[in-house]
């Protein structure tokens, strides 16, 4: 078959890899000037490695992306480092997110600290996520961790991650977070962009065609296939995969029947705003890599000192931090100027480190993405549209389809394998 894939993120590239290996012809269309999707990066002058616009890492349990790296001969790019994570609230400061750190947390009774630890352990041990999607995460974690521990430790994370949707999130989501995480974090030499580029190069090597700066304007169904229109050029395919957001699919294929688009419209998501800054010296003390922040304590949800896990020498000696938040797209940070958001966020860094001075800042970048985190309400598995749309030969693979797992490159790879199998099983057009 001749197959067109719209979207050069990890799902689209993985699907291309599989379908090419199966003997099909594949063309990937990517609107951006580089592959990688939300994991794509940029490189400042003097840097040896690219840096992700939105912070990324993988876990030791992420079998699909690790296997893919080995399959394309890029396993030498992957390495794992130990890292320090902490949570922060203005009343209590920063506390390590380790078993010992939680047991020493002085602002909860000891029994609640034990229950908090048990609540995390039971998530690791369970496999019945289908049952867990019937209740909210708040109900489940209150039951296991206790009301005080939930309000002190879990609720700030849910409020920060999902904002107005926090109380709607089902317990399968927090199960997936606990089940898949590891203390060591994985990264790629050269950044995730280096791995995305290696995958794209392999796709090209085995016969795939990759078109960058190629936004698709529309799709048109024809007898036995589809026309894809991009940059004034028309291509014809037997099958098309849209590996992008639900809104993109509805725009490209408005003739989808109502019963399918109704499901697409049920898929809610939240956006992300991330500021990257380079500093002249470290910001977070004690080597903390990731600082989870109580909602409202700072203007953002997480503060990540990337160079507390990845050596600063790869970035010309710069200390690199991320400040990031998940926000509804009607939040003021989506309409404010880059300069105003950056100034507001930089001014708050003294809360995290009283010694911080604006003179430490060398350079800043601000990135915004409307489709960054799917919302997963009760019984969310019933809301998911099928990978095979009702229009013959048109397939859809989105961040929502990795459910019950949380968004991430490993599950994008798994989704790419899955949609490739679906396309391959649809047969050859006569």
355 part of a folded domain: no
- Residue 190: CA atoms inside 13 Å, Cβ hemisphere, count? 11
Tokens 């019963």 found at: 259
The H or E element spanning position 411 is helix 409-424
If asked whether residues 248 and 197 sit together in one domain, one would say: yes
pLDDT higher than threshold 80 for residue 427: no
Q: How many domains are there within the chain?
A: 2
Look at the block and give the residue holding tokens 């050859």. 428
Give me the pLDDT at residue 430, please: 39
pLDDT in tens, 109-142: 777 778 777 777 777 778 889 999 999 999 998 9
- 198 and 59 in a single domain? The answer is yes
How would you classify residue 314: left for phi > 0, otherwise alpha for psi between -120 and 50, otherwise beta?
Answer: alpha
Q: What is the pLDDT of residue 213?
A: 97
| pLDDT for residue 96 is more than 50 | no
Q: For residue 124, count CB atoms less than 10 angstroms from its CB and return exposed for 0-12, middle for 13-18, buried for 19 or more.
A: exposed
In a domain, 326, yes or no: no
Please give the residue that has the higher pLDDT: either 153 or 228: 228
| Residues 143-184 pLDDT 10s | 888 888 888 777 877 887 888 899 999 999 989 887 777 889
Query: Of 127, 149, 180, which one is at a domain's C-terminal end?
Result: 180
Distance CA 71, CA 77 (A): 13
Task: Answer whether residue 38 is part of any domain.
Answer: yes
Query: What is the pTM assigned to this prediction?
Result: 0.92
Confidence of residue 429 (pLDDT cuts 50, 70, 90): very low
Residues 121 and 165 in one domain: yes
Look at residue 47 in the predicted model and tell me its pLDDT: 98
Whether 60 is in a domain gets the answer yes
Question: Rounded distance, CA 99 to CA 135, Å?
Answer: 27
What pLDDT, on the 0 to 100 scale, is given for residue 88? 65
* 289 occurs within a structural domain: no
Per-residue pLDDT of 11-64, as tens digits, reads 999 999 999 999 999 999 999 999 999 999 999 999 999 999 999 999 999 999
For the stretch 373-404, pLDDT in tens is 999 999 999 999 999 999 999 999 999 999 99
Please identify, among 121, 151, 180, the residue that sits at the C-terminal boundary of a domain: 180
> Angle formed by the axes of helices 409-424 and 63-71, to 10°?
70
Phi and psi for 320 in degrees, rounded to 5?
-110, 130
Of 128, 160, 180, the position where a domain reaches its end is 180
From residue 20, give the alpha-carbon distance in Å to each of 66, 139, 338, 418: 20, 46, 41, 14
| 106 & 171 share domain | yes
Q: Tell me: pLDDT of 234 over 70.
A: yes
Is the predicted pLDDT of residue 100 greater than 90, yes or no? no
Domain that holds residue 147: 99-180
Q: Are 27 and 5 in contact (CB under 8 A)?
A: yes
CATH number of the domain to which 416 belongs: 3.50.50.60
Same domain? For 9 and 139 the reply is: no
Phi, psi of 133 (to 5 degrees): -75, -5
Q: What is the pLDDT of residues 240-258, one digit of tens each?
A: 999 999 999 999 999 999 9
| Helix 409-424 / helix 10-21 crossing angle, nearest 10 deg | 40
Q: What is the pLDDT of residue 7?
A: 98
Residues 109 and 258 in one domain: no
Q: Distance between CA atoms of 247 and 370, rounded to whole angstroms?
A: 11
In sequence order, which residues have a C-beta less than 8 Å from that of residue 53 and are 6 or more positions away? 38, 40, 41, 42, 274, 276, 365, 367
Which pLDDT does position 118 carry in this prediction? 78
Q: Please report the beta strands in 189-280, taking only residues with DSSP state E, as ranges in sequence order.
A: 209-211, 216-222, 225-230, 233-237, 239-242, 269-279
**17 and 67 housed in the same domain:** yes
Q: Are residues 252 and 111 in the same domain?
A: no
Has residue 282 been placed in a domain?
Answer: no
* Average pLDDT of the residues of the chain: 91
Q: Give yes or no for a cis peptide into 404 (omega within 30° of 0).
A: yes
pLDDT beyond 70 at 101: no
Residues 43 and 109 in one domain: no
Q: Are residues 193 and 174 in the same domain?
A: no
Percent of the chain with pLDDT over 90: 73
Q: Is 362 inside any structural domain?
A: no
Longest dimension (CA), the chain: 70
pLDDT at residue 319 greater than cutoff 60: yes
Q: Does 176 share its domain with 104?
A: yes
In angstroms, the Cα distances linking 280 to 44, 317, 357, 379 are 15, 8, 10, 48
Q: What's the Rg (C-alpha) of the chain?
A: 22
* Domain-embedded: residue 127: yes
Handedness of CA 275, 280, 284, 290 (dihedral sign): positive
Among 79-93, 216-230, 333-347, 412-426, the range scoring the smallest mean pLDDT is 79-93
Mean pLDDT of 213-224: 95
Residue 294: CB atoms within 10 Å: 20
Q: Are residues 70 and 104 in the same domain?
A: no
Mean pLDDT of the region 67-90: 88
Question: Per-residue pLDDT for 98 more than 60?
Answer: no
């Amino acid at each position: 078959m001749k197959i067109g894939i719209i979207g050069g993120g990890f799902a689209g590239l993985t699907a291309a890899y599989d379908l090419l290996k199966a003997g099909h012809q594949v063309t990937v269309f990517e609107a951006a000037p580089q592959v990688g999707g939300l994991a794509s990066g940029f490189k400042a002058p003097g840097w040896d490695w690219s840096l992700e616009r939105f912070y990324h890492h993988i876990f030791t349990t992420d079998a699909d992306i690790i296997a893919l790296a080995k399959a394309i001969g890029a396993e030498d790019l992957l390495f794992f480092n130990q890292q320090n994570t902490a949570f922060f609230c203005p009343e209590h400061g920063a506390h390590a997110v380790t078993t010992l750190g939680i047991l020493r947390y002085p602002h909860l009774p000891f029994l609640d600290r034990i229950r908090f630890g048990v609540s995390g352990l039971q998530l690791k041990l369970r496999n019945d996520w289908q049952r867990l999607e019937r209740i909210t995460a708040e109900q489940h974690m209150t039951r296991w961790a206790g009301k005080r521990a939930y309000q002190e430790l879990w609720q700030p994370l849910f409020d920060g991650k999902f904002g107005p949707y926090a109380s709607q999130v089902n317990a399968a989501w927090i199960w997936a977070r606990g089940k898949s995480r590891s203390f060591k974090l994985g990264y790629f030499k050269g950044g995730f962009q280096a791995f995305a580029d290696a995958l794209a190069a392999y796709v090209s090597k085995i016969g795939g065609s990759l078109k960058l700066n190629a936004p698709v304007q529309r799709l048109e169904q024809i007898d036995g296939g589809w026309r894809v229109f991009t940059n004034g050029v028309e291509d014809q395919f037997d099958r098309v995969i849209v590996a992008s957001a639900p809104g993109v699919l509805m725009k490209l294929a408005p003739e989808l029947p109502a019963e399918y688009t109704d499901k697409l419209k049920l898929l809610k998501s939240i956006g992300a705003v991330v500021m990257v800054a380079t500093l002249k010296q470290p910001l977070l003390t004690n080597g903390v890599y990731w600082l989870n922040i109580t909602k409202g304590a700072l203007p953002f949800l997480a503060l990540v000192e990337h160079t507390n896990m990845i050596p600063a020498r790869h970035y010309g000696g710069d200390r690199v931090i991320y400040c990031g938040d998940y926000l509804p797209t009607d939040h003021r940070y989506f309409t404010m100027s880059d300069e105003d958001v950056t100034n507001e966020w930089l001014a708050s860094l003294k809360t995290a480190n009283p010694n911080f001075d604006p003179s430490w800042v060398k350079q800043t970048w601000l990135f915004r993405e409307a489709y960054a985190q799917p919302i997963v309400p009760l019984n969310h598995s019933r809301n998911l549209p099928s990978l095979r749309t009702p229009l013959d030969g048109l397939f859809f693979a989105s961040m929502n389809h990795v459910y019950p797992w949380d968004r991430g490159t490993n599950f994008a790879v798994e989704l790419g394998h899955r949609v490739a199998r679906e396309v391959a099983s649809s047969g050859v057009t006569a």
